Amino acid sequence: MTSKKTSIKKLYALSSEKRRYSFPLPLKHTIRIGKRDYEVKLKADEKFGTYILWKNRKYPVEIVRSRQNKYEILFNDISYTFTVETPFSLKRMKVLSTVKGKVETELIRAPMPGKILDVFAREGADVLRGEPVVILEAMKMQNEIQSPVNGKIMKVAAKTGINVMKDDVLVEIKPD
């Protein structure tokens, strides 16, 4: 394992909507709002599990997923996904995104675990935005999974009768 050690002064948490929160290191247990610093406490007890105490209010927190520098956090029952970046990785990310440009394929994933009841998508066919590609049954409801874009169907992974997990890729579409 090769690892380059650098001195870091700051970390950034980037939300999925690309909002950026920066935190100087070492990480303080206070957050500044206007001119005042408010204490943030990460606590846990038998009754509530893990929670954050902020301005005299308890907020339940949970870590839903953590992979590399990506974190999905449930804060007061709402999910937030952040990637935590160092000034160096942030810069590299910016460079990469300008080189790479637009995404080539649109992946339609299963929004929930369930069973594939019907597949309308055919490889090589054109689809319109909103056109149903798959019927997924979950919790007794039939859900029409629609194409989010206009494009061409590159691959159909979903097969009638099979069970899928949440986030399994069902169909790959090349957007027009």
Partner 1 sequence: MRIKRILIANRGEIAVRIMKTAKRMKIESVAVKTALEPNAMYLSYADQVYDHTSDTSEIPVFLDIEKIIRIALETGSDAVHPGYGFLAENAYFAQKCAENKIVFIGPSPDSIYKMGNKTIARRIALAGGIPMATGSEGNIGNEEEAAAVAGKIGYPVIIKAASGGGGRGMRIVRKAEEMERLFITASKEAEKAFNDPSVFIEKYIENPKHIEFQILGDTKGNIIHLGERECSIQRKHQKLLEEAPSPALDEKLREEMGRLAVQIAKAVNYYSAGTVEFLLDSDRNFYFMEMNTRIQVEHPVTEIITGIDLVEQQIRIANGETLKFGQDDIKLTGWAIECRINAEDVQAGFAPDPGKIESLSLPSDPCVRVDTGVRDGSVIVASFDSMIAKLIVRGDDRKNAIKNCKMALDKVWIKGTKTTLPFFRMLVRHPKFIEGDFTTAFIEKDLTQFYYNSEYEEMLAAWLATKLFIEENLQDDSISVDFRDGKEMSPWLLNKRINQF
In the complex, which residues of this chain contact partner 1 (CB under 8 A)?
A: 1-8, 11, 13, 15, 19, 21, 23, 25-27, 31, 33, 40, 42-44, 47-50, 52, 54, 59-69, 71, 73-80, 82, 84, 86, 88-89, 111-114, 117, 132, 135, 137-142, 144, 166
Q: How far is the CB of 56 from partner 1 (least distance, A)?
A: 13
Cβ atoms 60, 76 nearer than 8 A: yes
Q: How far is the CB of 100 from partner 1 (least distance, A)?
A: 17
C-alpha count within 13 angstroms, C-beta hemisphere, residue 63? 7
Task: Give the closest residue to 26 by CA, choosing from 8, 14, 42, 6.
Answer: 8
Q: Which CB sits closer to partner 1, 43 or 122? A: 43
CA distance 101 to 132: 28
CA distance 144 to 148: 12
Q: How far is the CB of 1 from partner 1 (least distance, A)?
A: 5
Q: How far is the CB of 15 from partner 1 (least distance, A)?
A: 6
Q: Which CB sits closer to partner 1, 74 or 154? A: 74
CA distance 93 to 154: 28
Q: Which CB sits closer to partner 1, 34 or 124? A: 34
AA identity, residue 60: P
Q: How far is the CB of 97 from partner 1 (least distance, A)?
A: 16
The 169-175 sheet, strands edge to edge: 106-109, 169-175, 151-156, 126-127
Q: Which CB sits closer to partner 1, 2 or 102? A: 2
